[in-house]
Amino acid sequence: MPAAAVHTEEPDPADSPPAAGTGPDLGGPPPGGEEDRSAVRSLLRLWPYVRPVRVRLFSAAGVAIVASCIGLVIPLVLKWLVDGPVADRDPAGVWLGGLLILALGVAEAALFGFRRWLVARPLAGVEAAMRSSLYRHLQRLPVSFHDRWASGQLLSRGTTDLQLIRMFLAFPLTFLVVNGTTIAVGCAVLLAQEWTLGLVLLAPVIPLVALCSAFERRFFGAARRAQDQVGDLTTVVEEAVLGIRIVKGFGRHRSQAQAFRRLTHELRGTELHKARLLAGIWALIMTLPELAIGAALVLGTVQVADGDLSAGTLVAFLSTAMALRWPVESIGFLLAMCNEAATAADRYFEVMDEPPADAADRRTAGAADTAGTADAAKAAKAAETPGTPRTAAPGPPAAVPAQRGGSAPGPDPSPPAADGIRFTGVVFRHPDTGPDAEPVLTGVDLHVRSGETLALVGATGSGKTTLTALVPRLYEPTAGRISLDGRDITDLPRDELRELVAVAFEEPTLFSATAGENVLMGSYEAEEHDLLRALDIAQADFVHQLPDGHRTEVGEQGLSLSGGQRQRLALARAIVGRPRFLVLDDPLSALDVHTEALVEAALRRVLATTTALVVAHRPSTVLLADRVALLSGGRVAAVGTHDELLHGSAEYRALMAGVTEERTQDAAGAAHGEEGEQR
């Protein structure tokens, strides 16, 4: 991450553009802008989560209103006390009035405590339910979504934003209603006691409403910017912790610290801007009512001196006005908390509004069909152009080649339905690219016969990994069809598809769990004997040497293990469930030569009983396969056995010889020219 200089003078975030990384791709402000946004509309979207606890929430609001109105009774008692027992010099009446005021104060405090008890547990449940919904939804979103979004932005939505929403439901939501009711009742009491003084106190209402409206508009932008910056900061911290070996290994701790300091500097500036806005509105909200109270005091004193108003009425009037100070003064920070909760709700629903994988499939089906027709036409035209590699059209399952044990080829013993994996006219371009962008895969026709192992070979960027990711529907093809044993994968429920297809990636991902639990994630039904078998096949016997065997915690990302050990556990996870189809993306890249030979020997037994698609970079991995498909420029350039491609494809020979990518591409061009001349 680039270093950034630290400034000593704070820029005003309101006058500067949003920080980098807060755009829509990282969960920034919605494209509609602030003018299209309504805090009320954003907060109303929380209703489905609040509805189950609405009885207790409404009850708590009712209790708080009663408690607040009790506070308005105290000035009336004071009026009676001053005009009655005090004026009449009645000690018993004074004691009675004092006890009544004490009882009212205790009742008010008890009711507010009861309100807190009513909302604490249900609102904690609302927060937990929203966090669970977010987590479940994240699991259902397509991989392309996670490719776009920073993990820190998602993490901040599941922690900080939900805490803001819970605080809003517990305090500002209730007290906006309570304080609004209190102010309305208090104003009615003031006007009933002395309407002229009441009008003096109500004079600041119109300017206060205008100030609050302007404050809300400005505070929203600052609140949203601060929350997005917290997400960026969380991403930097998470990446620094996960990549601590890289940071230390390359001595980049200073540049990381400078980048972190830059983000904290931006966040600090935004928070100071929020504080300035809040201080300004609070100062005005406190000043205007105080001026009105002072004016009412002067006018009321004159009326008492003239005999037009009793002293008790003036005391009650001023006591009521003072009781209304807190509800009025709280408007500023209640509005601030509401705006922060509204922006938190916006950020939460930005993720929840993303269509899950199945919905995304339906939404893009029409566009994919249209784009697919055009792409398929281009692919067909390219196939007819001299110099372009051609592949045989997929046909009925052919006889299985000679098996690994060297037995003679014979008829396919599989039933007719066992058709293996079939790619027909598959086109793929990344969802974020425009329709005119060059697709990663263009018109791929390929058939992996049932029980066969097919190796995918090609230069970097040829589309090998992308093709394998399409089989378990981690990505959706832009056009074309992929079938498993004759069934279109789009017709299969995702759970069923992923029970049929097991995957192992080149970059193995392990979780903060035991070694055994990481392996058993590959199958819901696998038992301990399946676990031991998978560990044996993957040559992961090192697990038994761990302190607690396969019950040993491997730590976050499995970083307590070596790269080869992590890769072997990932391979064991892929084969533990005895899958019908196996997709392996260069699963042996991190193994030493000796371990690789052992894993290959054991893996042959697995591959003999499954249909497998294997991305291969090493000749030793290629030799595990029955046939090899050469990908070049997003197309299948050639298909055949290893020996056939060595003799018939210059590009394949260059790849197996390990030459540079530039020479490989030159060889690809030469090979295409040779094939064009032959045709």
Query: Model confidence at 226, in pLDDT bands (50, 70, 90)?
Result: confident
pLDDT of 494? 84
pLDDT of 447? 92
Which is more confident, 431 or 553? Answer: 553
Residues 334 and 434 in one domain: no
Distance CA 516, CA 520 (A): 6
Residues 441-487 have pLDDT tens digits of 888 999 999 889 999 998 888 888 889 889 988 888 888 999 998 89
Distance CA 475, CA 142 (A): 7
Residues 210 and 336 in one domain: yes
The amino acid sitting at 114 is F
Q: What is the CATH number of the domain that holds 567?
A: 3.40.50.300
DSSP three-state, residue 411: coil
State which of 319, 352, 385 marks the end of a domain. 352
Distance CA 561, CA 554 (A): 7
DSSP three-state, residue 4: coil
Does any domain span residue 421?
no
Query: Model confidence at 358, in pLDDT bands (50, 70, 90)?
Result: low
Residues 556 and 471 in one domain: yes
Query: Model confidence at 359, in pLDDT bands (50, 70, 90)?
Result: low
Does any domain span residue 229?
yes
Helix (H) or strand (E) holding 420: none
The mean-pLDDT minimum among 15-19, 100-104, 317-321 falls in 15-19
Query: Model confidence at 374, in pLDDT bands (50, 70, 90)?
Result: very low
Query: How many Cα atoms occupy the beta-carbon half-sphere of 221 within 13 Å?
Result: 19
| Measured torsion, CA atoms of residues 445, 451, 457, 463, in degrees rounded to the nearest 10 | 50
Between β-strands 487-488 and 479-484, what pairing exists: parallel, antiparallel or unpaired?
antiparallel
Q: What is the CATH number of the domain that holds 276?
A: 1.20.1560.10
Residues 347 and 439 in one domain: no
Residues 257-308 have pLDDT tens digits of 888 888 889 888 888 888 888 888 878 877 887 788 788 788 878 877 877 7
| Measured torsion, CA atoms of residues 69, 71, 77, 82, in degrees rounded to the nearest 10 | -140
Residue 234: name the closest of 22, 485, 2 by CA.
Answer: 22
Residues 338 and 441 in one domain: no
Helix (H) or strand (E) holding 581: strand 581-585
Residues 319 and 170 in one domain: yes
pLDDT at 422 over 80: yes
* Mean pLDDT rounded to a whole number for the chain: 76
Q: Residue 65 in contact with residue 184, Cβ under 8 Å?
A: no
Q: Residue 588 in contact with residue 600, Cβ under 8 Å?
A: yes
Question: What mean pLDDT comes out for the span 383-393?
Answer: 37
Residues 336 and 446 in one domain: no
The count of other CB atoms within 10 Å of the CB of residue 145 is: 18
If one counts the domains in the chain, the total is 2
Q: Residue 167 in contact with residue 46, Cβ under 8 Å?
A: no
Question: What mean pLDDT comes out for the span 529-540?
Answer: 87
Which is more confident, 73 or 503? Answer: 503
Question: What mean pLDDT comes out for the span 213-218?
Answer: 77
Does any domain span residue 403?
no
pLDDT of 2? 37
Nearest 5 degrees, angle CA 59-CA 60-CA 62?
A: 65
Strands across the sheet containing 581-585: 501-504, 581-585, 611-615, 453-458, 627-632, 635-640
Residues 183 and 331 in one domain: yes
Write out the residue range of the structural domain in which residue 563 sits. Answer: 429-625
Does any domain span residue 17?
no
Residue 221: name the closest of 10, 18, 45 by CA.
Answer: 18
Query: Model confidence at 385, in pLDDT bands (50, 70, 90)?
Result: very low
The overall longest dimension of the chain from CA atoms, in Å, is 123
- Ramachandran quadrant class, 374 (left: phi over 0; alpha: psi -120 to 50; beta: rest): alpha
Residues 566-593 have pLDDT tens digits of 888 888 888 888 888 999 887 776 677 7
pLDDT of 1? 38
The amino acid sitting at 515 is A
Does any domain span residue 663?
no
Question: What mean pLDDT comes out for the span 629-653?
Answer: 89
pLDDT at 373 over 50: no
Nearest 5 degrees, angle CA 465-CA 470-CA 471?
A: 105
pLDDT of 170? 83
Strands across the sheet containing 421-428: 441-448, 421-428, 479-484, 487-488
Does any domain span residue 282?
yes
Distance CA 655, CA 460 (A): 10
- Ramachandran quadrant class, 487 (left: phi over 0; alpha: psi -120 to 50; beta: rest): beta
Residues 180-209 have pLDDT tens digits of 888 888 788 778 777 777 787 777 777 877
pLDDT of 601? 76
Question: Which residues contact residue 37 at a Cβ distance below 8 angstroms, ignoring those fewer than 6 apart?
Answer: 30, 220, 346
Residues 56 and 143 in one domain: yes
State which of 352, 381, 407 marks the end of a domain. 352
Helix (H) or strand (E) holding 678: helix 661-678
Does any domain span residue 463?
yes
Distance CA 601, CA 628 (A): 19
pLDDT of 37? 62
DSSP three-state, residue 460: coil
DSSP three-state, residue 501: strand
Written as six digits, the tokens of 387 are 């110099």
The amino acid sitting at 608 is A
State which of 352, 377, 404 marks the end of a domain. 352
Residues 61 and 166 in one domain: yes
pLDDT of 206? 78
Does any domain span residue 302?
yes
Place of tokens 């917290």: 230
Distance CA 362, CA 355 (A): 10
